[in-house]
Structure formats: structure tokens, C-alpha cells
Amino acid sequence: MVYLIAAIFLGAFFGDPKRLLHPATGIRGIIRFWEKRFYQKEDKKRAGLTFCWVVLITAVAVIGLILWLASRSYTLYWVVVLYFLYSALTWRSLKDTTLPVALSLFNEDLSQAKRELSHIVRRDTQNLDKAGIVRAAVETIGKNYIGGMFSVLFFATLGYAVGGAVGAVMLAWLFKAVSIMDSMVGYDNEQYSDFGYACAKLDDALNFIPARLGGVIALIAGTCLRYSFIRGWKVFLRDRKKHKNPNSAHGQSAFAGLLGITLGGGAEYNGVFKERPKIGDDLKEPEASDILRAHSILDASVALCVLILLCLFGLYRI
């Protein structure tokens, strides 16, 4: 458990290890390797199911091999374990990627804000106004707080309870592998709707509990920052299912309720406008400082998770 907490603090201080060899890069390589071999098959849905499991088995084998090789040195082994956890649990990247958007808005440079935003969202950004830019940035934080941070921490903690540090590494990166597969082939389009079906559904299933639990954690953390829990809870209960993905709106609704702004609504994707439900109450116009407020809720949520881990560690020692 100490290594999980240490990994969180490493992420807070150093952010995503972009300049080092990142395990996610290896996972993407595995996915591309097997996609080329399975996508050619005629029955795309069955091929996609086999592809999904082969990728996970390969990921487990590669990670297991690395840990086994590192185990020949006690120091190297724990460095590798800590690095795997650190690289999986880095959450500061959410702040690092959305902060330039906020800074551009503070400088009244909408064009730069749109360019910064285009690096982190799939929607078209050229026609967004200031409020739309803020909404898109906060949506990204609220959504990825679950899939990019809380869910990983959830499975790392579960893995630690089952198999110690190795279990934490394995379950964290098995979840990450599913999440990366979903981001690469889990699209509901002509190319991947069948092939990526299994990956998308597995990602939905794995995020089901963390999304709901993570939303509640964010509400409690926001209350500690003196945001209205009642307002946040009301929006969370009402709007957490307003998304075609069963998990995406849980984090977004918690952040929207705490901040008193609306998220969602229509957006353009590749020049095509797609209507989406609105999340939250329109109590005020979204402003650049709401991105920074979302950062503070994210920080408080991580801090609360650390406190919970410390309590669990204390009970484990007893």
C-alpha cells in the first residue's frame, strides 16, 4: 500500500513521465501488432473478442517477464514496481493539459485556447466561444478523473489486496490496457463498431463501479472545499446517466454540480453537429477560473483517496 501512495506523490511532483519509456507505449505497440493480424478476419465481432483477450494475455506476459527479470535485484525490483504504478497513476497530466487552455483564456487569446483544447478533445474547436471552451475543458477533467485516475487507483488497490505489489501492478495495467484498447478501437463507427465491440463493453464493465464511487468521492472532496454538497448531489443523481456511455457522465455531473455550471449539450465532430444532453444547472456562465476550480476538486479527490488508502493500510496492519 505504501508503494501506491508513493506512486501518487510521484505523479503529483513529476507528472506523466513523457521523456522516459512509458508502459503505455508498449501496450499501444502490442495492440497495433495484434490488430493487424485479427482485423483482416471476416467475422469482425468474433475477431475483436479474440483480439481483446490476446492483447490482455500478451500484456500480462510481458509485464510478468519484466517483473521476473527485475526480481534478481531487490532494489531494481521495487524501482520497477514503483515505476509501473507511478506511470499508471499519474493524474497531474489532466491539469497539465488543461492549464494552457485556462491561461490562454485569461490572456483573452481565444485562438490559442482553441488550439490547446484541440490537443485534448475529439470535438471540433474552431467554432467554440469562451463558455464552450471552458465546458469542454471541464468535461475532459470530469470524465478522465474517472477513467484516467480513479479507476486505475481502484484496480491497483484491489490488486494489492489480492496479490500485494505485483497484484497492484498487474490489475492496474490490465485496466489500462483495456482503456487504451477502447481509445484505439472502441469507436462506434463503420470501421470499428464490430471489431471494437468487445473492448468497448469490457471497458464499460470495468468502469461501472469506479465511476459511481469516484463521483461520490469527488462530491465529498468538493464539499471539503466548501462547494455545496446538496447542489452537487442533486445534479449527480439527476444527470449521471445522461450519456450514451454508462460511466462518462458520473464524474462530469459531480464536477458540474459542484461548480454550478452546465456541461454537455451539442458539439461538432468532423463538421457534423451532434446533440447531447445537458449536464448540470446553468447557475452561472462558465469562466476560465472554473477550469482551475475543477483542478482543485481533482486535487482534493486525490488527497481524499490517499487518506482512504492510509486508513485501509492501517486496518491491514492491524
* 248-291 per-position pLDDT tens digit: 899 999 999 999 999 988 888 878 888 889 999 989 999 999 99
Which pLDDT does position 314 carry in this prediction? 66
* CB contact at 8 A, 142 and 294: yes
In degrees and rounded to multiples of 5, residue 261 shows phi and psi of -125, 170
- Per cent of the chain over pLDDT 70 is 97
Which pLDDT does position 156 carry in this prediction? 94
- Distance CA(253)–CA(245), nearest Å, equals 13
Count of alpha carbons within 13 angstroms of residue 280, beta-carbon side: 27
Which pLDDT does position 316 carry in this prediction? 57
Record the pTM.
Answer: 0.92
Task: Say yes or no to pLDDT of 318 above 60.
Answer: no
- Give the type of residue at 200: A
Residue 236 pLDDT grade (very low, low, confident, very high; cuts 50, 70, 90): very high
- Distance CA(109)–CA(114), nearest Å, equals 9
Task: Say yes or no to pLDDT of 315 above 80.
Answer: no
pLDDT, mean of residues 95-113: 95
Mean pLDDT of the chain: 91
Other CB atoms closer than 10 Å to residue 257's CB: what's the count? 32
- Distance CA(67)–CA(77), nearest Å, equals 7
* 139-191 per-position pLDDT tens digit: 999 999 998 899 999 999 999 988 889 999 999 999 999 999 999 998 888 88
Q: Please indicate whether residue 191 or residue 230 has the higher confidence score (pLDDT).
A: 230
Which pLDDT does position 139 carry in this prediction? 94
